C-alpha cells in the first residue's frame, strides 16, 4: 500500500525483532530532565514541536480564529467564482486570494478555503489522535500480555499481529468502509476504529519487545521474589518504564495516521461533506488543478506541514530519550 | 430511467441520458436538413459536414467499460446509441434525422409500420427480405421472438430495460428461454410467430407507447449462437458492422458485416470501414486526445471534464467544434408528502422559495456545461413542455427569503425545522445537496445530508418508501431521463400514485392525487400525440402545484467533435450525436 | 519461538514449518475477507444479490439471482464453494450452458460477468512495472544517501539528508503526484501524459508514462531506506569485526564496501521484501493519481461499483503477495544471516 512503507516511517528496527532500546530503563525523572535538555538543543525538533503545538491550538480554537480571519465555514460566495468555467475562481487570481479570502476560495461553492483548512485540521487531528489512542491502548494490552506471559499467548498474539500486517490495508479499509453507512458520526467512528485497528501492531511489537527484555531485569525479579502479584508488577514496575518508548512511538504513529485519514478521504471514503477534510479537498482539486492549482496546493501543504512537524518532533523526541541513536 | 456510468477517483459524472430535441426553443426546427458550418452548438441546429465519403476508422474513447455488449443488457443511452448504430437492428427504430423528426419511429427490420388491431391489442409485423445475421443465416420471426424472451431471464441477463416484461408477461410468469419447457424455447404466449416472416404481439390492455419499447430491446438473437451470460463476448450482428475483437478493459474493434445489405437499411449510413473503441481511458487523457484529434468522439457523451471545459470555453478555435445538447435529463429534488413536516404543503412551498437555483446550477457545472435552470418537470424535448410554467417564480434563480418565511409561518414553523436530505455519494450530486442545505439554512431549515451508496440508492435507499419513512428523508436528490420520448415515458412513473413500489420505486414523494391519476389514465390511452401532449402539460402543472418536485436544471453536456467527423448532428432520441451517421472526411 | 537448544534445527523442517504457517495465514485471511465482504452488507441490511440485479428487478428476480449465485446458502457453504473454486475450479450457470471456471477460480465479476482471475493477471504487469522501477530508484538512492549520511555523521550533510528524508516520508503521494504532473506534464511538457503502454509495444512511451510514478513513489520509500541504512551503518561501524578490519590497515572504502555493507543489507532485504510484496498487491494511490491501469486501480474501481467478487479477489491477491514476501524474506534471512534462530 502506498500510504507508506511497511515499516512505520521512522521505525528503524528490523520488523521481526525489536530489541529494547537501551537507555530507556533509566529512572523516570532524571531521564525526563536529560531528555528535555537534549530536546532543547535540537532546533529542528523544537521547531517541529512548536508547529505541532500551534496546529493543535488552531484545531481547538478553529471557531475563534475563523471568526477573526475567515467566513462561516459553509457559506457560499458565488460572486467569487466563474460559473461558466466550471466554477473556478477567475483565471489569474491565484485561486481567488485576497485580503478577504486569505487562501482563496473553493471552486463551485466559493467557500473560504482558509476556513475549510482550519476546520479540516480539526477533522484530521481528531481522527488521527483518537485512532492513535486506540492503537496505543490495544498495543499496550496485547504487547504487555504477549511479552510478560510469553508461551502460547505470545505465539498467538504475535501471529495475530503478523496477520493484521499481512492485510493489504488501504484496500481492505476502503472496501470495508464503503459497505458501511456513510453518515458523519458513524463514518468518523469507523475511520477511527479502522485506522487504529490497523496501526496498533506497530505499538504492540515495540511494547512486546520492551516487555520481554524488562521482565528479565533485576528490579522485576526482585519484585517477584518479594511476592508481588503479576498485576502489581505490570502496573508498578513495567508500565512506568514503558512510558518513554510508548510516548515516542505514539508521536511517530500520529503522522502516519494523518496520512492514512487523508488517503481514505482522498479515495472518497472519508468523513462525508460538508465536514471539511484535507484529503477530500485534494481529491476535489484533482479536476481543477490545471486551471486552479492553488486549490490543490493549499490542502496539500496543510497535510505536508502537519505530517512533517509531527515527524520532526517525534524523531527529536526519540533521539532525546535514546542517547545511543544518532550520537 | 437510463443510467450513466460513474468514474474514477470519485471525481465526476453521473450524467445524462435520455433524449432531447434541438436546443431550447425551436431555433433548429426549420433547418433540420440544412448544412451548417462548424460553430459552437452547430450540431444542435443542423448537420455539420454532410458527406457520403466512405472509408477510414471511427475512433471512440471511453473512460469506462460497457457493462455489457449484449443488447438485452444495455441501458445507458450511449450504449443504446452504439448498438442501434452498428450491430443491433430492431423491428422499428427512430429515424436518423436532426430535430423532432429524429423522435419518430420508422421500419428497420420490419417491412412497414405494424398493423394494429382496432382494439389496439394486437400488433402484427412482417419482416423485410434479405435481413441476415453476420454468418449469413436469414433472420426469422423466431429469432425476433427469442430475443424478446431473453429479456425475461433476469437472473442471467440483468441490467437492461424491463418494460417488455411488464407488457408481455400477462400473468404467465415466463422464466426466460433457459428455463423454458417448450422444446423450441419459444414458450412466451404473448408473442406469436405464425410463419418465418410474421411476428404478432398481443397486449392485455392498450398501451399507446408500446412501439417505443421495441428499439430499446435486442432485435434478433439466433438461439444456436446464444451463450447466455457470455453472449456479451460476441453478440451476433444484424447491422452494418460486426465485432472483430472484444478485449475487455482495453479495446473493442468492429469491421464491416459482409452480410448486411445497404438496400434493406434506410437509417444507417455505414461510412467508416472500421469502428474502434478504446476503453478505460483516464477521463482527462480522453479529453486531451479528443482535443488533439487522436480520437473522434467520447463514447459516453456525458461531457468533458472540468479542465477540458475550461480549455474549450477559453479557446474559440476549440469552442467552434463543441456542442452542448440538452440531454433530456432533469435534475431535481423531490419532497416527501409523508415525512413531517412536509405532509404540510406550506413547508414544501417554503423549500421551493428558499432554494438557490443559481448555486444549484453552478454545482452542476454552470449554464454551459450544467444546463439551463429548470422551473417545471417536463424537459424541452418532451412534447407538452411549457417554458412559461414557473409557479414559484424561480426562473430568475435567486432565493425568495420573504416568501419562504411566509410559507414557514403558514406551516406553523415560523422558526424553521430540522430535516434530512438524501443523496448518493456520486458525481456532482453531493455538491448539489450541499448547495440546497446552505440555502435552507438561510430561512432556518436545518437540513442534514445523508449520503448513501450510489449502487443501491435508487433501488432501496430512496426507492423504498419504508426506508424513506424510517430514515426520515424529507428531501431526496434525484435525476431522471426518459426511456422513450413521451410524457408517459418521462413523467408517469414519477408521479402516478398507483405505481408506488416497495422497492425500485420512482414516485419518491409518494404523490397520490386522484385528479393527477385520472389525467394520467386519459393521457396514456390517448393515441393522438398532440392531445396526449396537451394532457401531459396539464399534469405537469398540477404536479408543480403540489410543491413535491423541485426541478433545478435541464441537463446539458459539453462534448467536443473532431473536425474531421462528417454528418454530425444531435439525435433527439438520445440527446447525443447519431453515431450511425458519422463518417471521417480524411478517409483514415 | 523457543530457541533451539544449541543445535541448529533442520533447514528442511524450518522451511516446511514456514510453508505451513504461510498457508494457514492465507486460509485465515481468506476466511476473514470472505466473511467481511459477504456478511457486512447483510448486516447493513442489503442483499448482495441486489448489487447484481438492475434497479427495476422484482423481489422474485432478486431471489432468483441470489439462488443462482448461491447467496441464499449459509455463509459456511458459500465459503466452502469459494474455497473449492480456488483450489479445484467450479461450474457457473450462464443460462443455456454451464461454464467451468478453472482453478484458481475467484468467481465472476458482478458487473461484466467476466472471470476475476484473468482480470487480475491482466493488470499485474502494470503494477509490476511501477513497483520494480520505483524499487530500483529507492534502493539505490536510499541506501546511498544513508551510507553517505552515516559516514558524515553529525555534519551538515547528514542533518540535511535526514531532514530531507523526513520531508520525503511526510509527502502524501496524491499531492506530490499532482504537483509533479502539473509541473512536468502540463506546464513544462517534458513528459507525455497519455495512456499506459506495454513495454513490449513502446519502451520509451512505457518509461515516459511511468517515470513520475516511479520517482514520487521512490521518494516516499527512499526516505525510509536512507534512515534505516544510516542507523544500521552507525551500529555496524562500532562493532568489533569492523574495528579489526580497520586495524588490519584496510582502506576505509574497502571496509565499508566489503564488510559493513553486508550486515547493513540484511535488514534492508527484509524490509524490501515486505515493501515489494505489499506494493505488488496494488499501489492504489499512485495508480489512481497517475492513471495507471494496475491492480490498485482495478480494486478502487471495483469498490466504487460494489463489484464484490473483484474486491474479494484483489484483496486476497494482495494478501498473497504479502504472505509470499514474508515467506521469502524469512528464507533469505536464514540464508544470509546464520545467526537467525530457526525457531
Per-residue pLDDT of B93-115, as tens digits, reads: 999 998 888 888 999 999 999 99
Among B334, B388, B437, CA closest to B537: B388
Higher pLDDT, A23 or B59: B59
Contacts with A182 from chain B: Cβ below 8 Å: 425, 451-453
**Interval B172-192: pLDDT, tens:** 889 899 989 888 889 999 999
In this model, does residue B4 exceed pLDDT 70?
A: no
Start-to-end CA span in chain A (Å): 33
**Interface partners of A (3+ CB pairs, < 8 Å)?**
B, C
Q: What is the mean pLDDT of residues B498-522?
A: 92
How many residues belong to chain A? 327
Contacts of C264 (CB under 8 A, 6+ apart): C143, C147, C229, C232, C233, C236
* Range with lowest mean pLDDT among A150-154, B322-326, B332-336, C243-247: C243-247
| Burial class, B402, CB count within 10 angstroms (exposed 0-12 / middle 13-18 / buried 19+) | exposed
Q: Do B158 and C122 touch (CB under 8 A)?
A: no
Mean pLDDT for the stretch of residues C241-247: 72
Whether chain C has a CB inside 8 Å of the CB on A6: the answer is yes
Asked if the Cβ–Cβ distance from B309 to A83 is below 8 Å, we say: no
CA distance C67 to C72: 6
Contact list in B for residue A79 (CB cut-off 8 A) is: none
Average of pLDDT values for C118-123?
A: 89
Residue C172: its chain A contacts at CB < 8 A?
Answer: 259, 262-263, 266, 282, 300, 303-304, 307
Q: What is the 3-state secondary structure (H, E, C) of chain C?
A: CCCCCCCCCCHHHHHHHHHHHHHHHHHHHHHHHHHHHHHHHHHCCCCHHHHHCCCCCCHHHHHHHHHHHCCCCCHHHHHHHHHHHHHHCEEEECCCCEEEECCCCCCECCCCCCEHHHHHHHHHHHHHHHHHHHHHHHHHHHHHHHHHHHHCCCCHHHHHHHHHHHHHHHCCHHHHHHHHHHHHHHHCCCCCCCCCCCCCCCHHHHHHHHHHHHHHHHHHHHHHHHHHHHHHHHHHHCCHHHHHHHHCCCCHHHHHHHHHHHHHHHHHHHHHHHHHHHHHCCCHHHHHHHCCCCHHHHHHHHHHCCCHHHHHHHHHHHHHHHHHHHHHHHHHHHHHCCCCCCC
Residue A12 to residue C288, Cβ atoms within 8 A: no
Q: Is the pLDDT of residue C262 over 90?
A: no
CB contact A181 to B (< 8 Å): yes
Nearest Cα of chain C lies from the Cα of A76 at a distance, in angstroms, of: 26
What is the SS3 assignment for B280?
coil
Residues 85-114 on A with a CB inside 8 Å of B are 85-88, 91, 107-109
Rounded to the nearest 10 degrees, what angle do helices C116-151 and C295-304 cross at? Answer: 120
Mean pLDDT of C155-181: 87
Torsion angle, alpha carbons of C117, C119, C123, C125, to 10: 50
SS3 category, B61: strand
Best mutation target, B6, B7, B10, to test chain A (most A CBs within 10 A):
B10
Helix (H, G, I), strand (E, B) or coil at B450: strand
Which chain C residues contact residue A267 at CB under 8 A?
284-285, 288, 300
Mean pLDDT of C37-46: 69
For residue A178, give how far its alpha carbon lies from the nearest alpha carbon of chain C (Å): 7
DSSP A238: I
Average the pLDDT over B119-131 and give the result: 95
CA B208 to chain C, closest CA, distance in angstroms equals 21
CB atoms C65 and B460 under 8 Å: no
Q: Rounded distance, CA B350 to CA B359, Å?
A: 17
**Residue of chain A nearest B314, judged by CA positions:** A85
Instruction: Give SS3 for A283.
Output: helix
Q: Looking at residue B34, what is its pLDDT? A: 56
In the predicted structure, residue B298 carries a pLDDT above the cut 90: yes
Q: What is the pLDDT of residue A11?
A: 37
Contact yes or no for C326 and A166 at CB 8 A: yes
Asked whether the predicted pLDDT for residue A301 surpasses 80, the reply is yes
Residue B60, strand partner residues: B277, B297
Q: Return all residues near B534 (Cβ < 8 A) that are at least 6 apart.
A: B384
- Percentage of chain A beyond pLDDT 70 is 88
Q: Which of A140-144, A233-237, B284-288 shows the lowest mean pLDDT across its residues?
A: A233-237
For C109, nearest residue in chain B (alpha carbons) = B67
Query: Which triple of cell numbers denotes residue C341?
Result: 534462530
CB-CB under 8 Å, B162 with C53: no
pLDDT for residue A117: 94
- CA angle B245–B251–B254, rounded 5-degree value: 45
What chain B residue is nearest to A85 in terms of C-alpha separation? B310
CB–CB of A1 and C288 under 8 A? Answer: no
The number of C-beta contacts closer than 8 angstroms across A and B is 96
Please state the rounded mean pLDDT for residues A259-286: 89
**Once rounded to an integer, what is the mean pLDDT over residues B57-84?**
90
Best residue in B180, B455, B499, B508 to probe C by mutation, most C CBs within 10 Å? Answer: B455
User: Using CB atoms, which residue from A44, A179, A311 is nearest to C169?
Assistant: A311
- Structural domains of chain A, with CATH: 39-321 (1.10.3720.10)
Average pLDDT of chain C, as a whole number: 81
Confidence of residue C153 (pLDDT cuts 50, 70, 90): confident
The residue in chain B having the minimum alpha-carbon distance to the alpha carbon of residue C285 is B9
pLDDT confidence of A1, banded at 50, 70, 90?
very low
- Chain B positions touching A180 (Cβ under 8 A) are none
Chain A CA closest to residue C265: A14
Q: A187 to chain B: nearest residue by CA? A: B451
pLDDT digits (tens, 9 = 90+) for C275-321: 888 888 768 889 988 888 899 888 888 887 778 889 888 888 888 88
| Mean pLDDT, range A70-94, rounded to an integer | 81
Averaged over B38-62, what is the pLDDT? 91
Q: Is C291 on the interface with B (CB under 8 A)?
A: yes
Q: Which residue of C has its CA nearest to A7?
A: C271
Lowest mean pLDDT among B11-20, B440-449, C203-212, C229-238: B11-20
Estimate to the nearest angstrom the gap between the alpha carbon of B365 and the chain centroid.
Answer: 20
ipTM confidence score: 0.83
Element (H or E) spanning B201, and its range?
Answer: strand B198-202
Residues in C touching B9 (Cβ below 8 Å): 288, 300
Determine the average pLDDT of the residues in B409-413. Answer: 94
Per-residue pLDDT tens over the stretch B524-538 = 888 888 899 999 999
Contacts of B228 in chain C (CB under 8 A): 94-97
What chains are in contact with B, requiring at least 3 Cβ pairs below 8 Å? A, C
- CB contact under 8 Å between C159 and A259, yes or no, is no
Indicate the angle between helix axes C261-280 and C116-151, nearest 10 degrees: 150
* Shortest distance, CA A9 to any CA of chain B (angstroms): 26
pLDDT-derived band of residue C7, with 50, 70 and 90 as boundaries? Answer: very low
Shortest distance between the Cα of B448 and any Cα of chain A, in A, equals: 9
Residue A299 C-alpha, separation from nearest chain B C-alpha, in angstroms: 17
Which residue of chain B is at minimal alpha-carbon distance from C287?
B9
In A, minimum Cα distance to C171 occurs at A304
Q: What is the pTM of this model?
A: 0.84
Report CB contact under 8 Å: B159, C306: no
Chain B residue numbers with beta carbons less than 8 Å from the beta carbon of A184 are 448
- CA dist C39 to B390, C43, C252, C269, Å? 48, 6, 61, 38
Amino acid at each position: 500500500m502506498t500510504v507508506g512503507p511497511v515499516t512505520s516511517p521512522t521505525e528503524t528496527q528490523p520488523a521481526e525483532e525489536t530489541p529494547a532500546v537501551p537507555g530507556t530503563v533509566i529512572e523516570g525523572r532524571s531521564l525526563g530532565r536529560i531528555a528535555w535538555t537534549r530536546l532543547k538543543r535540537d532546533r529542528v525538533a523544537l521547531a517541529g514541536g512548536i508547529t505541532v503545538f500551534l496546529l493543535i491550538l488552531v484545531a481547538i480554537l478553529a471557531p475563534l480564529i475563523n471568526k477573526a480571519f475567515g467566513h462561516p465555514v459553509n457559506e457560499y460566495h458565488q460572486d467569487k467564482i466563474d460559473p461558466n468555467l466550471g466554477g473556478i475562481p477567475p483565471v489569474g487570481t491565484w485561486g481567488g486570494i485576497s485580503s478577504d479570502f486569505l487562501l482563496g476560495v473553493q471552486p463551485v461553492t466559493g467557500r473560504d478555503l482558509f476556513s475549510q483548512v482550519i476546520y479540516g485540521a480539526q477533522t484530521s487531528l481528531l481522527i488521527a489522535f483518537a485512532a492513535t489512542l486506540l492503537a496505543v491502548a490495544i498495543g499496550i494490552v496485547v504487547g504487555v500480555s504477549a511479552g510478560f506471559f510469553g508461551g502460547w499467548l505470545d505465539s498467538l498474539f504475535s501471529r495475530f499481529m503478523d496477520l493484521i500486517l499481512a492485510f493489504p490495508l488501504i484496500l481492505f479499509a476502503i472496501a470495508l468502509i464503503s459497505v458501511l453507512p456513510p453518515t458523519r458520526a458513524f463514518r468518523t467512528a469507523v475511520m477511527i476504529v479502522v485506522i487504529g485497528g490497523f496501526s496498533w501492531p506497530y505499538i504492540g511489537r515495540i511494547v512486546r519487545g520492551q516487555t520481554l527484555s524488562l521482565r528479565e531485569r533485576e528490579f522485576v525479579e526482585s519484585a517477584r521474589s518479594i511476592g508481588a502479584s503479576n498485576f502489581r508488577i505490570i502496573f508498578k514496575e513495567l508500565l512506568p518504564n514503558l512510558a518513554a518508548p510508548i510516548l515516542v512511538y505514539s508521536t511517530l504513529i500520529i503522522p502516519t495516521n494523518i496520512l492514512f485519514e487523508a488517503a481514505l478521504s482522498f479515495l472518497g471514503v472519508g468523513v462525508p461533506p460538508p465536514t471539511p477534510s484535507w484529503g477530500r479537498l485534494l481529491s476535489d482539486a484533482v479536476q481543477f488543478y490545471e486551471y486552479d492549482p492553488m486549490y490543490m496546493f493549499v490542502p496539500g501543504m496543510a497535510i505536508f506541514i502537519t505530517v512533517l512537524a509531527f515527524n520532526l518532533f517525534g524523531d527529536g523526541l526519540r533521539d532525546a530519550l535514546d542517547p545511543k541513536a544518532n550520537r | 430511467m437510463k443510467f450513466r456510468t460513474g468514474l474514477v477517483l470519485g471525481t465526476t459524472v453521473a450524467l445524462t441520458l435520455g433524449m432531447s430535441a434541438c436546443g431550447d426553443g425551436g431555433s433548429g426546427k426549420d433547418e433540420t436538413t440544412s448544412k451548417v458550418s462548424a460553430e459552437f452548438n452547430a450540431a444542435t441546429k443542423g448537420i455539420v459536414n454532410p458527406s457520403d465519403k466512405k472509408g477510414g476508422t471511427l475512433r471512440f474513447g471511453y473512460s469506462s467499460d460497457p457493462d455489457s455488449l449484449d443488447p438485452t443488457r444495455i441501458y445507458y443511452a450511449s450504449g443504446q446509441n452504439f448498438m442501434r448504430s452498428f450491430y443491433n437492428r430492431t423491428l422499428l427504430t427512430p429515424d436518423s434525422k436532426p430535430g423532432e423528426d429524429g423522435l419518430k419511429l420508422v421500419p428497420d427490420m420490419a417491412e412497414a409500420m405494424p398493423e394494429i388491431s382496432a382494439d389496439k391489442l394486437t400488433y402484427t409485423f412482417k419482416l423485410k427480405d434479405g435481413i441476415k445475421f453476420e454468418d449469413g443465416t436469414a433472420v426469422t420471426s423466431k429469432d425476433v421472438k427469442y430475443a424478446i424472451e431473453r429479456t425475461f431471464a433476469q437472473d442471467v441477463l440483468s441490467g437492461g430495460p424491463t418494460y417488455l416484461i411488464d407488457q408481455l408477461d400477462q400473468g404467465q410468469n415466463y422464466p426466460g428461454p433457459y428455463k423454458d419447457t417448450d422444446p423450441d424455447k419459444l414458450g412466451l404466449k404473448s408473442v406469436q410467430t405464425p410463419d418465418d416472416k410474421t411476428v404478432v404481439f398481443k397486449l392485455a390492455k392498450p398501451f399507446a407507447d408500446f412501439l417505443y419499447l421495441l428499439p430499446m430491446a435486442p432485435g434478433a438473437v439466433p438461439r444456436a449462437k446464444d451463450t447466455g451470460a457470455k453472449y456479451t463476448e460476441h453478440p451476433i450482428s444484424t447491422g452494418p458492422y460486426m465485432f472483430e475483437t472484444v478485449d475487455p478493459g482495453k479495446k473493442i474493434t468492429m469491421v464491416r458485416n459482409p452480410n448486411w445489405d445497404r438496400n434493406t437499411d434506410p437509417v444507417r449510413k455505414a461510412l467508416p470501414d472500421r469502428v474502434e473503441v478504446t476503453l478505460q481511458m483516464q477521463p482527462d487523457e480522453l479529453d486531451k486526445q479528443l482535443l488533439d484529434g487522436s480520437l473522434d468522439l467520447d463514447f459516453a457523451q456525458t461531457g468533458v471534464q472540468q479542465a477540458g471545459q475550461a480549455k474549450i470555453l477559453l479557446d474559440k478555435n476549440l469552442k467552434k467544434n463543441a456542442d452542448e445538447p440538452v440531454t433530456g435529463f432533469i435534475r431535481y429534488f423531490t419532497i416527501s408528502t409523508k415525512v413531517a413536516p412536509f405532509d404540510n404543503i406550506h413547508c414544501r412551498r417554503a423549500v421551493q422559495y428558499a432554494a438557490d437555483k443559481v448555486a444549484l446550477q453552478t454545482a452542476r457545472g454552470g449554464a454551459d456545461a450544467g444546463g439551463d435552470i429548470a422551473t417545471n418537470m417536463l424537459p424541452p424535448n418532451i412534447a407538452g413542455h411549457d417554458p412559461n410554467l414557473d409557479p414559484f417564480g424561480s426562473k430568475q434563480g435567486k432565493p425568495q427569503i420573504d416568501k419562504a418565511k411566509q410559507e414557514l409561518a403558514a406551516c406553523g414553523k415560523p422558526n424553521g425545522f430540522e430535516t434530512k436530505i438524501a443523496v448518493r455519494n456520486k458525481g456532482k450530486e453531493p455538491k448539489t445537496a450541499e448547495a440546497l442545505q446552505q440555502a435552507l439554512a438561510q430561512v432556518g431549515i436545518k437540513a442534514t445530508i445523508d449520503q448513501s451508496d450510489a449502487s443501491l440508492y435508487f433501488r432501496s435507499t430512496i426507492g423504498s418508501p419504508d426506508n424513506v419513512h424510517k430514515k426520515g428523508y424529507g428531501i431526496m436528490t434525484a435525476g431522471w431521463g426518459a426511456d422513450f420520448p413521451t410524457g408517459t415515458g418521462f413523467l408517469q412513473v414519477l408521479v402516478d400514485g398507483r405505481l408506488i413500489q416497495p422497492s425500485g420505486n420512482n414516485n419518491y414523494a409518494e404523490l397520490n392525487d386522484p385528479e393527477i391519476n385520472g389525467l394520467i389514465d386519459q393521457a396514456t390511452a390517448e393515441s393522438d400525440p398532440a392531445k396526449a401532449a396537451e394532457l401531459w402539460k396539464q399534469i405537469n402543472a398540477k404536479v408543480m402545484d403540489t410543491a413535491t418536485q423541485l426541478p433545478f436544471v435541464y441537463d446539458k453536456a459539453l462534448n467536443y467533435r473532431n473536425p474531421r467527423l462528417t454528418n454530425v448532428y444531435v439525435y433527439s432520441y438520445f440527446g447525443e450525436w447519431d453515431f450511425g451517421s458519422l463518417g471521417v472526411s480524411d478517409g483514415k | 519461538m523457543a530457541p533451539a537448544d544449541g543445535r541448529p534445527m533442520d533447514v528442511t523442517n524450518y522451511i516446511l514449518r514456514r510453508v505451513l504457517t504461510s498457508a494457514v495465514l492465507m486460509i485465515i485471511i481468506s476466511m476473514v475477507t470472505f466473511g467481511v465482504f459477504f456478511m457486512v452488507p447483510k448486516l447493513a441490511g442489503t442483499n448482495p444479490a441486489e448489487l447484481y440485479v438492475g434497479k427495476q428487478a422484482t423481489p422474485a428476480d432478486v431471489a432468483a439471482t441470489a439462488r443462482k449465485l448461491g447467496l441464499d446458502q449459509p455463509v459456511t457453504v458459500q465459503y466452502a464453494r469459494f474455497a473449492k473454486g480456488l483450489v479445484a475450479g467450479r461450474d457457473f450457470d450462464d443460462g443455456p450452458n454451464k461454464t467451468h471456471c478453472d482453478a484458481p477460480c475467484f468467481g465472476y465479476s458482478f458487473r461484466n460477468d467476466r472471470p476475476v482471475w484473468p482480470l487480475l493477471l491482466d493488470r499485474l504487469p502494470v503494477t509490476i512495472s511501477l513497483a520494480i522501477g520505483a524499487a530500483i530508484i529507492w534502493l539505490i538512492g536510499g541506501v546511498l544517501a544513508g551510507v553517505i549520511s552515516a559516514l558524515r555523521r553529525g555534519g551538515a550533510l547528514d542533518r540535511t539528508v535526514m531532514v530531507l528524508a523526513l520531508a520525503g516520508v511526510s509527502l502524501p503521494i496524491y499531492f506530490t503526484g499532482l504537483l509533479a504532473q502539473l509541473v512536468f506534464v502540463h506546464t513544462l511538457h517534458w513528459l507525455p501524459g497519455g495512456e499506459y503502454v506495454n513495454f513490449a509495444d513502446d519502451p520509451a512511451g512505457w518509461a515516459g508514462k511511468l517515470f513520475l510514478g516511479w520517482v514520487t513513489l521512490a521518494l516516499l520509500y527512499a526516505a525510509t531506506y536512507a534512515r534505516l541504512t544510516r542507523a544500521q551503518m552507525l551500529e555496524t561501524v562500532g562493532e568489533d569485526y569492523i574495528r579489526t578490519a580497520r586495524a588490519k590497515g584496510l582502506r576505509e572504502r574497502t571496509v565499508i564496501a566489503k564488510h559493513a555493507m553486508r550486515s547493513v543489507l540484511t535488514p534492508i532485504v527484509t524490509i524490501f521484501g515486505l515493501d515489494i510484496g505489499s506494493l505488488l498487491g496494488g499501489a492504489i494511490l499512485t495508480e489512481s493519481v497517475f492513471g495507471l491501469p494496475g491492480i490498485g486501480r482495478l480494486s478502487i474501481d471495483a469498490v466504487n461499483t460494489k463489484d464484490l467478487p473483484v474486491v474479494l479477489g484483489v484483496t486476497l491477491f494482495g494478501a498473497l503477495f504479502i504472505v509470499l514476501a514474508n515467506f521469502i524474506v524469512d528464507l533469505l534471512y536464514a540464508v544470509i544471516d546464520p545467526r537467525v534462530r530457526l525457531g
